[in-house]
């Protein structure tokens, strides 16, 4: 059933619904942006893991570097950037180059073996990114549900108001 047009008077009767729908639209935009930034961060984490493996292989192949064969830490300091700093870096020329190439090429990583300072950074950052993604998705679903409820109420009022004063006739009423 198509949605009947809402009359202007129905909209004027409930300004708090209009305000809430506008706020929901703003929140959805904000959380979509946050979710996109989180996806970029998750990609960067994967690329940092790949780069750590590449640097480790390069070190093993280099005869000038004394290497015990153990995997290096591979931590990238950019992973420690907070949300605002990450967005600034992501929008920078360096950030754009990394995301355009879909790979991190510099060797600015922690090359210690069994690094206590950055212990388990791979799983910590991956888990945090997954959790953030789920939280953003859940919040977006809640906003969408709230928006749907408001629009359904408006639709019901519109149908009720459009039928007001209509007298039904038919052969059963004769």
70-81 tens-digit pLDDT: 788 888 889 888
For the chain, percent of residues with pLDDT exceeding 70: 82
What's the whole-number average pLDDT of the chain? 83
Which tops the pLDDT comparison, 65 or 37? 37
The single residue listed with the structure tokens 């870096």 is 89
Which tops the pLDDT comparison, 105 or 17? 17
End-to-end CA distance of the chain: give it in Å, rounded.
Answer: 30
153-162 tens-digit pLDDT: 888 887 766 6
């Amino acid at each position: 059933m198509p949605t009947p047009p809402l009359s202007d008077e129905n909209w004027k009767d409930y300004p708090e619904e209009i305000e809430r729908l506008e706020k929901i639209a703003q929140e959805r935009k904000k959380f979509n942006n946050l979710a996109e930034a989180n996806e970029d961060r998750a990609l960067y984490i994967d690329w940092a893991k790949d780069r750590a493996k590449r640097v480790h292989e390069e070190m093993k192949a280099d005869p000038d570097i004394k290497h015990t064969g153990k995997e290096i830490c591979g931590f990238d300091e950019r992973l420690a950037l907070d949300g605002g700093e990450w967005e600034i870096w992501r929008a920078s020329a360096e950030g754009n180059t990394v995301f355009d190439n879909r790979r991190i090429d510099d060797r600015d990583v922690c090359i210690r073996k069994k690094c206590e300072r950055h212990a388990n950074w791979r799983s910590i950052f991956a888990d945090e990114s997954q959790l953030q993604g789920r939280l953003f998705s859940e919040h977006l679903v809640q906003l969408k549900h709230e928006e749907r409820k408001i629009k359904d109420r408006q639709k019901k009022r519109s149908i009720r108001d459009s039928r007001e004063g209509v007298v039904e006739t038919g052969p059963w009423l004769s």
